[in-house]
Amino acid sequence: MYILSVNSGSSSLKFQMYDMPEEKVLISGTFERIGLENSFYTIKLNGEKVRKEKNLENHEVAVNILIDELVDNKVINSLDEIAGVGHRIVHGGSKYSKSIVLDKNILDDISKLNELAPLHNPANISGVYAFMKKIPNAVQVGCFDTAFHQTLQEDKFRYAVPDLWYEKYGVRKYGFHGMSHKYVSERVMNIINKTKANVIVCHLGNGGSISAVKDGKCIDTTMGFTPNAGIVMGSRSGDIDYGIIPYIMKKTGMSITEVDNELNKKSGLLGISKVSSDSRDLDEKVKENHKPSILAYELYVNSIVGYIAKYYVELGGVDVLCFTAGIGENAPNIRKLIIDKLSCLGIKIDEEKNNECRFGKEGVISSTDSEVLVYVIPTDEEVVIARDTYSLI
């Protein structure tokens, strides 16, 4: 059965076509700068990657080209061969705790959550409608980034704010990166061959979040009402004292929208280093003994270590600590900085193994005398989407 996994962003569309249930990837690609100048797309097939310049006016144009590529490359002979299309939808609120077959009524309901994820949900929904129009016979499935965290108990997802804020306006912790946390926690439990285990997953990319997973269920996570909560990120501040916001507004005359933009797009590693939000750029500056970049890394590592320690206590001990996503998978220097600070918890690193686990290589990086196993697990959100879509069909 052919299943398409789709991740529609505000100006991008990523996809992978699977032959299920074997989970064989037939073709994958990314459409970038949709609706902007200099748009293009890349297709990866049989190990070869091809880039093509194309005017991508909107998501519907991208979907039409995608379908043409599937036919031209003889991945499919007919659109009827595509049984389902699974879509990443960032926010499902507290209502959608698992993947669901989509129709217009459900999409209308999901669109009511757009103000909770204004940069993501409208683009996600736009992608769904484009595929509904192009492949009307395929089952469309919504897979929510917030779903994995819906197992949080009330004492973990509530904020100590007026009850009306929660009851009327839905102010609570939702958590994000759910499909990545789900994949990695399930994968590592499969590796250690256990059905019961305490796992901490560190999804460290330009955006970052950490989750505490007990026996396959998430009990806590760092991102909250919005993705800006939790650890320091590439351009997001992470946790701050909320009193800073009105203070800066008074001092600068900035609007709440402008302050929000600064905290989301000009803070984090970028804000401290004044160089970049990309750890690869900071690595070069750290080698040059660039003090702001060194400080940025220190704040970043401290925020991660603090949450790992917190979740260690919440879980009552940890069996496995996992690193995933762009930085988690490819930055052994940052992993070492983090693990060295966790030595008091009996977590120790094997430097040789740590340096080997990069660029998609899965493996254990803890030393033989470490009291906690430490793994690098390349994430695969697309296969989670494909599995859920196949299961629902």
Q: Is residue 159 part of a domain?
A: no
Within-domain flag for 265: yes
Number of domains in the chain: 2
The reported pLDDT for the residue numbered 216 is: 95
Q: What is the C-alpha to C-alpha distance for residues 143 and 149, in angstroms, rounded to an integer?
A: 13
- The alpha carbon dihedral of 353, 359, 361, 364 has a sign of positive
Asked if residue 51 has pLDDT above 80, the reply is: yes
- Are residue 97 and residue 198 in the same domain, yes or no? no
Write down the catalytic residue from 19, 108, 145, 380. Answer: 145
Residue 243 confidence (pLDDT) above 80: yes
Q: Indicate if 83 and 198 belong to the same structural domain.
A: no
Give the integer Cα–Cα distance in Å for 378 and 363: 9
For residues 140 and 197, membership in a common domain is answered with no
How does residue 189 score in pLDDT terms, banded at 50, 70 and 90? very high
- Give residue-wise pLDDT tens across range 315-365: 999 999 999 998 999 999 999 999 999 999 999 999 999 999 998 899 999
Indicate if the pLDDT at residue 32 is higher than 90: no
For residue 280, is pLDDT > 90?
no
Q: Does 104 share its domain with 39?
A: yes
386 part of a folded domain: no
Flag whether pLDDT at 145 surpasses 80.
yes
When mean pLDDT is compared across 20-29, 55-64, 80-89, the lowest value belongs to 55-64
pLDDT of residue 209 exceeding 90: yes
Reply yes or no on whether the pLDDT at 251 is more than 90: yes
> Per-residue pLDDT for 175 more than 90?
yes
Instruction: Give the 3-state secondary structure of 157-218.
Output: HCCCCCHHHHHHHCCCCCCCCHHHHHHHHHHHHHHCCCCCCEEEEEEECCCEEEEEEECCEE
Q: Does 85 share its domain with 205? A: no
Residue 34 has pLDDT above 90, yes or no: no
Look at residue 204 and tell me whether its pLDDT is greater than 80.
yes
Interval 208-234 mean pLDDT: 95
State mean pLDDT over 190-208: 94
Determine whether 278 is an active site residue: no
pLDDT at residue number 166: 95
Domain assignment of residue 168, yes or no: no
Confidence of residue 246 (pLDDT cuts 50, 70, 90): very high
Residues 130 and 247 in one domain: no
pLDDT at 63 over 90: no
Question: How far is residue 126's CA from residue 181's CA, in Å, rounded to a whole number?
Answer: 25
Q: What is the CATH number of the domain that holds 121?
A: 3.30.420.40
CB atoms within 10 A of CB 123: 22
23 within domain boundaries: yes
Both tokens of 63, joined, read: 């979907």
Q: What's residue 329's pLDDT? A: 95
Does 218 lie in the same domain as 135?
A: no
Q: What is the pLDDT of residue 285?
A: 93
CA dihedral 63, 68, 71, 74 (to 10 degrees): -100
- pLDDT value at position 321? 98
pLDDT at 199: 98
- 8-state DSSP, 148: G
Record the pTM.
0.90
User: Quick one: pLDDT at residue 149?
Assistant: 96
The pLDDT of 12-29, averaged and rounded, is 92
Residue 385, pLDDT above cutoff 90: yes
Q: Tell me: the pLDDT tens digits for 37-50?
A: 888 999 999 888 99
120-132 tens-digit pLDDT: 788 788 888 888 9
Could you tell me the residue range of the domain that residue 135 belongs to? 2-144
Please indicate, yes or no, whether residues 206 and 351 belong to a single structural domain of this protein: yes
- What's the whole-number mean pLDDT along residues 68-72? 90
| For the chain, percent of residues with pLDDT exceeding 90 | 72
- Residue 313 domain flag: yes
- State residue 226's pLDDT score: 87
